[in-house]
Amino acid sequence: MNGNSGLHINVRGIVQGVGFRPFVYKLAQGLDLKGWVRNTSAGVDIELDGSQEALTRFMQSLRGEAPPLAKITEIKTTKRSPNGYGNFEIKQSLAVADAFQPVSADVAICPDCLRELFDPADRHYRYPFVNCTNCGPRFTIIKDLPYDRPLTTMAEFAMCTACAHEYQDPTDRRYHAQPVSCPECGPQIWLEIGGETIRDQEEALKRVRAWIAAGEIAAVKGLGGFHLACDATNADAVRRLRERKARPDKPLAVMLADTAAVRRHCLANEFELATLHDTRRPILIVQRNPESNIATEVGPGQQTLGVMLPYTPLHTMLMERAEGISDAWVMTSGNRSDEPILIDNEEARQQLAGIATAFLMHDRPIQARCDDSVMRVKPKTQALIPIRRGRGFAPAPIDLSWDSHPMLAAGAELKNTFCLAKGKFAFPSQHIGDLGNYETLQAYEAAIAHFERLLRIKPRALAYDLHPDYLSSRYALKRAQQDVIPAIGVQHHHAHIAACMAEHGLPSNSSVIGLAFDGTGFGTDGTIWGGEVLVASYVGFERAFHLTTIALPGGDLAVRQPWRQALAWLGKLGMEEERDLPALKGISETEIAAVKRQLQSGVNTPLTSSMGRLFDAVAALIGLRREVNYEGQAAIELENLVDLYESNAYHFEITESEFNARSVIAAVVADLRAGTPAGKIAARFHNGLTALVLELCTTLRKRTGLKEVTLSGGVWQNMTLLSSVMVGLQAAGFQVLTHHQVPANDGGISLGQAAVAQHTLIK
């Protein structure tokens, strides 16, 4: 072959299920290159014969023009003598033992498929499962790699001639789109209602839409699980859903029909609008438009709404505009309170029977359960803050700045995720949930098995939280014994800080000032930590400052009933007899006496330095919340109250290694007595914390020379506090790192555990 060269290329990253091979095919054809391309379980392999010039152009385009959903992390090339290929072809996929490569997350319906969905001339017209190489289900239907139809839950649907033709044509948008299907050959929907099964698609859609419009509740099978749906503008319907689901106040997600509906119900800026439309379609927490007629019951005590746009063709059709059909539907996880989102038709029928009165079903099995992701946009920036990482994001990897052993980090107890790591990647799982019940534990173990199989990671070390009662810790310790591999306990707040360091790619030898503020974490001294200022590296930490501990009378009960924490503070100040304070009004003498006994005896009264509990106490003191029914409720409502024009601040007393809130509580009570509005009290508390953080960081910078501050822990989901602390620290010359890839809450813990465990192993 005169003047020809040969080249072998191995591409790694998210390169399967994203139209990568057709892209390579067209590129090679256009440059008159011969050879082949194929998927392997380690990535994509390409073999080329051609002129040197064409090969060079190929490499440039490979990097620069890859399809939008592809994420190339590595390209390896090997020069070869030409093989004398006569054409360019796409070869059958190849499984490579032990190799692993990232799996694409699910992708929202693309503009082309959307157009076909509503084009009467197209054969995909009104087909609720239309998809192509640029969109559709991925992670939730993949059983194993390489990503080919027989290894997905689409295996049971044989393609019709028309679909097979598109699937096999390298120039078609559906070339090797594994979930490709049409009304002839693919999954179908049906409605189960009042003992009847309606198989006719249009009739089923019509009936379920009318059902919702009439104020009823429907279960809708979606992409990563079931939703419970009702009209968000119907207060009775929302109340009924809350009662049946035993979910009194926690905000419910709302699906809005389209951009016009977003504008009508929300005050979203351009970046927020773009985020709502992006291919990951998260639930975004945005300001509520005061003009919106969405029932306040959707988010009691909130000025925000958690909204998303339809992300599958089915959702798009469900929410199609029509007279009498609401443009805002509650779409909350289809589960009973605190249990995992349901994915199986029969389980949904049984478990949601007391909640939903109609079931919109389909017959495409869900392999991986995956809740909707919840995000918000950091004020005045274009940065996403993950609150819950699920559909659209998982199982995308996070790049590590080190080479990791094959590792499993078990995560925490609440808002659990686990994390697998290997080589340069960490793979935090989708949101699993609170591990407090048997069903969630089952889902946790199933998800771990699925991740390990998909990613070809067999852990050779385990990381877990020091809390002996976390089910994740027990799982890790049991597994360490079974597999005979090391298990490394990682302190909760150290894990929080390490997670933030890791997602920012800080190198192995880094040290930071870490502000780990959250509700609860097991300390190394037997107390419950949560207001922690650490000087931390990946290997270890020094607890430089912490909130002075206070008794938590009744333990978990005090978490649900913040007035108990308020009473503990009043006791410290000798004010426990001031029963007219809002925190104690209406609480019976018996209950107060019981708490006082606990405070005296210390029975079932752990000590805590928790920042979350301090927010609770202040919220209770001003009468905002004596009891809560979801984690962080008091703090969220306190933030909502903040009067942004107030500049005064409460003062914390700082000693050698502690900061004491006694003076803050005393000032709150004095302000209450003086009739200061609650909004000002809430603001002075927030301002006081900002001043405290600034002072502590300045002290530590003098002591250690460190300028990098990482903020982690659930308290940093408070945007008011986060914004003012960032402004203050940056003005003082600090570099501030916050979470953008994993949540600041305990959903981020597993990544931090993996980071700490790796560095402990190689220490």
- Give the CA distances from residue 561 to residues 192, 550, 557, 624, in Å, rounded to whole numbers and listed in that order: 41, 16, 6, 12
Min dist. Cβ of residue 311 to Zn ion (A): 12
Q: Which of 5, 134, 326, 404 binds Zn ion (CB under 5 A)?
A: 134
Of these partners, Fe ion, Zn ion, none, which one is at the site of residue 576 (CB under 5 to 8 Å by kind)?
none
Task: Check if the beta carbon of residue 481 is closer than 8 Å to that of residue 428.
Answer: no
Min dist. Cβ of residue 556 to Fe ion (A): 15
Choice between 518 and 671, CB closer to Fe ion: 518
Min dist. Cβ of residue 634 to Fe ion (A): 16
Min dist. Cβ of residue 543 to Fe ion (A): 15
Of these partners, Zn ion, Fe ion, none, which one is at the site of residue 518 (CB under 5 to 8 Å by kind)?
Fe ion
According to DSSP, the residues that pair with 559 across neighbouring strands are: none
Q: Is the dihedral of CA 668, 674, 675, 681 positive or negative?
A: negative
- State yes or no: residue 160 binds Zn ion (CB under 5 A): yes
Candidate segments 156-164, 264-272, 355-363, 454-462, binder of Zn ion by CB under 5 A? 156-164
According to DSSP, the residues that pair with 433 across neighbouring strands are: 416
Which is nearest to 634 in space by CA: 551, 550, 582, 562?
A: 562
Burial label for 313, CB within 10 Å (0-12, 13-18, 19+), is buried
Q: Which of 1, 99, 185, 761 binds Zn ion (CB under 5 A)?
A: 185
Of these partners, Zn ion, Fe ion, none, which one is at the site of residue 319 (CB under 5 to 8 Å by kind)?
none
Choice between 310 and 433, CB closer to Zn ion: 310
Choice between 183 and 423, CB closer to Zn ion: 183
273 CB-near residues (< 8 Å, 6+ apart): 259, 262
Per-residue contact flags (x/-) with Zn ion for residues 82 to 111, judged by CB under 5 A: ----------------------------x-
- State yes or no: residue 184 binds Zn ion (CB under 5 A): yes
d(CA 317, CA 127) in angstroms, rounded, equals 9
214 CB-near residues (< 8 Å, 6+ apart): none
- State yes or no: residue 182 binds Zn ion (CB under 5 A): yes
Which is nearest to 693 in space by CA: 682, 701, 705?
A: 701
- State yes or no: residue 368 binds Zn ion (CB under 5 A): no
- CA count, 13 A, side-chain hemisphere, 458: 6
Per-residue contact flags (x/-) with Zn ion for residues 304 to 343, judged by CB under 5 A: ----------------------------------------
Phi-psi region of 754 (alpha: psi -120 to 50; beta: other; left: phi over 0): alpha
Which is nearest to 236 in space by CA: 276, 295, 281?
A: 295
Of these partners, Fe ion, Zn ion, none, which one is at the site of residue 135 (CB under 5 to 8 Å by kind)?
Zn ion
Min dist. Cβ of residue 709 to Fe ion (A): 18
Of these partners, Fe ion, Zn ion, none, which one is at the site of residue 163 (CB under 5 to 8 Å by kind)?
Zn ion
- State yes or no: residue 75 binds Zn ion (CB under 5 A): no
Choice between 299 and 713, CB closer to Fe ion: 713
580 CB-near residues (< 8 Å, 6+ apart): none
- State yes or no: residue 267 binds Zn ion (CB under 5 A): no
Min dist. Cβ of residue 128 to Zn ion (A): 13
Candidate segments 128-136, 235-243, 263-271, 682-690, binder of Zn ion by CB under 5 A? 128-136
Task: Specify the pairing of strand 461-465 against strand 487-490.
Answer: parallel
Candidate segments 159-167, 446-454, 508-516, 584-592, binder of Zn ion by CB under 5 A? 159-167
Of these partners, Zn ion, Fe ion, none, which one is at the site of residue 671 (CB under 5 to 8 Å by kind)?
none
Task: Check if the beta carbon of residue 298 is closer than 8 Å to that of residue 99.
Answer: no
Of residues 425-464, those binding Zn ion (CB under 5 A): none
Choice between 309 and 343, CB closer to Zn ion: 309
Min dist. Cβ of residue 726 to Fe ion (A): 20
Per-residue contact flags (x/-) with Zn ion for residues 215 to 254, judged by CB under 5 A: ----------------------------------------
Which is nearest to 745 in space by CA: 378, 351, 412?
A: 412
Of these partners, Fe ion, Zn ion, none, which one is at the site of residue 193 (CB under 5 to 8 Å by kind)?
none
Of these partners, Fe ion, Zn ion, none, which one is at the site of residue 272 (CB under 5 to 8 Å by kind)?
none
Min dist. Cβ of residue 163 to Zn ion (A): 3
Task: Check if the beta carbon of residue 7 is closer than 8 Å to that of residue 55.
Answer: yes
d(CA 467, CA 414) in angstroms, rounded, equals 12
Contacts by residues 438-443 (CB-CB < 8 Å, ≥ 24 positions apart): 439/339, 439/340, 440/338, 440/339, 440/340, 440/416, 441/471, 441/475, 442/340, 443/340, 443/369
Min dist. Cβ of residue 643 to Fe ion (A): 29
d(CA 622, CA 617) in angstroms, rounded, equals 9
According to DSSP, the residues that pair with 543 across neighbouring strands are: 534
Min dist. Cβ of residue 438 to Fe ion (A): 23
Min dist. Cβ of residue 454 to Zn ion (A): 23
Judged by the rule CB under 5 A, the positions of this chain that interact with Fe ion are 518, 521, 746
Which is nearest to 256 in space by CA: 219, 281, 291?
A: 281
Choice between 167 and 190, CB closer to Zn ion: 167
Choice between 327 and 746, CB closer to Fe ion: 746
SS3 529: strand
Task: Check if the beta carbon of residue 746 is closer than 8 Å to that of residue 714.
Answer: yes
Of these partners, Zn ion, Fe ion, none, which one is at the site of residue 113 (CB under 5 to 8 Å by kind)?
Zn ion
Min dist. Cβ of residue 465 to Fe ion (A): 9
Of these partners, Fe ion, Zn ion, none, which one is at the site of residue 598 (CB under 5 to 8 Å by kind)?
none
Task: Specify the pairing of strand 88-90 against strand 328-333.
Answer: unpaired
Of these partners, Zn ion, Fe ion, none, which one is at the site of residue 160 (CB under 5 to 8 Å by kind)?
Zn ion
Helices (H), 96-200: 111-117, 161-168
Choice between 161 and 509, CB closer to Zn ion: 161
Q: Which of 62, 90, 135, 544 binds Zn ion (CB under 5 A)?
A: 135
Choice between 126 and 739, CB closer to Fe ion: 739
Min dist. Cβ of residue 657 to Zn ion (A): 57
Task: Check if the beta carbon of residue 570 is closer than 8 Å to that of residue 625.
Answer: no
Of these partners, Fe ion, Zn ion, none, which one is at the site of residue 746 (CB under 5 to 8 Å by kind)?
Fe ion
Give how many residues touch Zn ion by CB under 5 A.
Answer: 10
Q: Which of 70, 132, 463, 611 binds Zn ion (CB under 5 A)?
A: 132
Q: Which of 107, 113, 145, 715 binds Zn ion (CB under 5 A)?
A: 113
Min dist. Cβ of residue 116 to Zn ion (A): 8
Report the residue number whose CB is nearest to Fe ion.
Answer: 518
Choice between 319 and 749, CB closer to Fe ion: 749
Would you mind telling me the total number of residues written for the chain in this entry? Answer: 763
H, E, C per residue of 598-651: HHHHCCCCCEECCHHHHHHHHHHHCCCCCCCCCCCHHHHHHHHHCCCCCCCCCC
d(CA 724, CA 92) in angstroms, rounded, equals 56
Which is nearest to 566 in space by CA: 664, 478, 674, 488?
A: 664
Of these partners, Fe ion, Zn ion, none, which one is at the site of residue 153 (CB under 5 to 8 Å by kind)?
none
Min dist. Cβ of residue 406 to Zn ion (A): 35
- State yes or no: residue 114 binds Zn ion (CB under 5 A): no
DSSP classification of residue 356: -
SS3 content of the chain, % helix, strand, coil (to 5): 35, 25, 40
Choice between 165 and 585, CB closer to Zn ion: 165
Interacting residues toward Zn ion by CB under 5 A: 110, 113, 132, 134-135, 160, 163, 182, 184-185
